Amino acid sequence: MKTVVLGGYGNFGARICRALAPSPGIELIVAGRDLNKASALASACGHGATAARIDIHDPQLAQALRPLGAELVIHTADPFQQQDYGTALATAAAGAHYIDLADGRRFVCDFPAALDDAFRRQNRLAITGASSVPAMSSAVVDHLTAGWRGIASIDMCIAPAQTAPRGVATMEAVLSYCGAPIQVWQDGRWTTQLGWAAPKTVAYARLRPRLASLCDIPDLELFPAHYAGVQSVMFRAALEIGISQRGMAALAGLRRMGLVPRPERFAALLNRAADGFNFLGSSLGGMVVRVHGLDAGGTPVQRAWHIAADHDHGPEIPCMAAVLLARRLAAGTLDKIGAYTSVGQLSLAEFEPEFGKWGMVTDLGE
């Protein structure tokens, strides 16, 4: 299966390329605007990987994909918060399957309705949000609540390592909703809260407690619709350095006052500034998912799942779902057509071998 990775030499794209190059049934094509960078990575990946110069903003993108014989396109060129569906539509027009790592709330939540017809007409599959959220997060919730009568609340928090590689595009995506109003499902109704404001302490199994603040991700909207009866859904992010977390909260306040209307303009500057705090941090990151509800016997229960990723391996986690889905397509074990979000597409058991490859440790608690 000829697999084109757009943004293939980027922070996440390169990790996906290195994982897919030796995978059975996959012929890898590393793609991006810089052919030299794409070629260098393709050479490093080996296993017959090749390179192509492709710009996702090219109005002739579909025509650029066809000569490559693309059968699957994996779109990793974020930030998705400012993108339309042009790349996905071009992929459908080229007759290929499509997977992306999108974390933009509107991009992911509106994706199935906008693109289902286009991919069904081509008898192809498109999956959006194949990343930590909502692909892995929904797999964790499904695992924790298997057999339950009902879910009352879902509370998630990601905790990146301070020294893990960060891309400017990721920083831009994060800053785009810093201080912006976010709709959050709490106590059975929609409430409005500010992104990155009001930090609170979150505990982890193998990490020190951290301050964490609200992030705007697709799960906040998808989970209330997918998990019938859930009363509250929350997602936070916790930076390792407390002053950085408080700085984000201060920036959120400045945006609310109208003093910094577009924080994302400072993404490159703040990304460089964050490196100045590396000496205070570590290479250990992780995530926790906590659920409350009624078990099979109707007894109130709380369960939690933790993951810890050391040695700056945390950025591998957002890449795992796309890798797993690509391998399933290549193996012929994923035979849907149409457009979907990644909610419920993978099981936690499918992720576990990937965790093991990187020495990541998981814990279950009640």
Residues 106, 57 share a domain: yes
Residues 327, 226 share a domain: no
- Is 79 or 175 the better-scoring residue by pLDDT? 175
Residues 270, 159 share a domain: yes
State the CATH number of the domain containing residue 6: 3.40.50.720
Helix axes 86-93, 111-121, angle to 10 degrees: 10
Residues 75, 13 share a domain: yes
Please name the amino acid found at residue 239.
Answer: L
Instruction: State yes or no: pLDDT of 169 exceeds 90.
Output: no
- The answer as to whether 363 is a domain residue is no
Residues 141, 94 share a domain: no
Q: What pLDDT was estimated at residue 226? A: 98
Residues 197, 62 share a domain: no
> Which tens digit of pLDDT belongs to each residue from 310-364?
999 999 999 999 999 999 999 999 989 999 999 999 999 999 999 999 999 999 9
- The answer as to whether 91 is a domain residue is yes
Residues 240, 302 share a domain: yes
> Which tens digit of pLDDT belongs to each residue from 222-259?
999 999 999 999 999 999 999 999 999 999 999 999 99
Residue labelled with tokens 């990793």: 76
Q: Return all residues near 26 (Cβ < 8 A) that are at least 6 apart.
A: 1, 3, 20, 326, 327, 330
Confidence of residue 93 (pLDDT cuts 50, 70, 90): very high
Residues 203, 294 share a domain: yes
pLDDT, mean of residues 30-56: 97
Domain range spanning residue 257? 134-309
- The answer as to whether 261 is a domain residue is yes
CB-side neighbour CA atoms (13 Å) of 55: 6
- The answer as to whether 345 is a domain residue is yes
Residues 161, 46 share a domain: no
State the CATH number of the domain containing residue 260: 3.30.360.10
Residues 119, 36 share a domain: yes
- Domain tally, the chain: 2
Q: What pLDDT was estimated at residue 341? A: 98
DSSP state at residue 25: T
- Output the pTM of the full model: 0.95
> Which tens digit of pLDDT belongs to each residue from 122-157?
999 999 999 999 999 999 999 999 999 999 999 999
- The answer as to whether 169 is a domain residue is yes
Residues 178, 55 share a domain: no
| Average pLDDT along the chain | 96
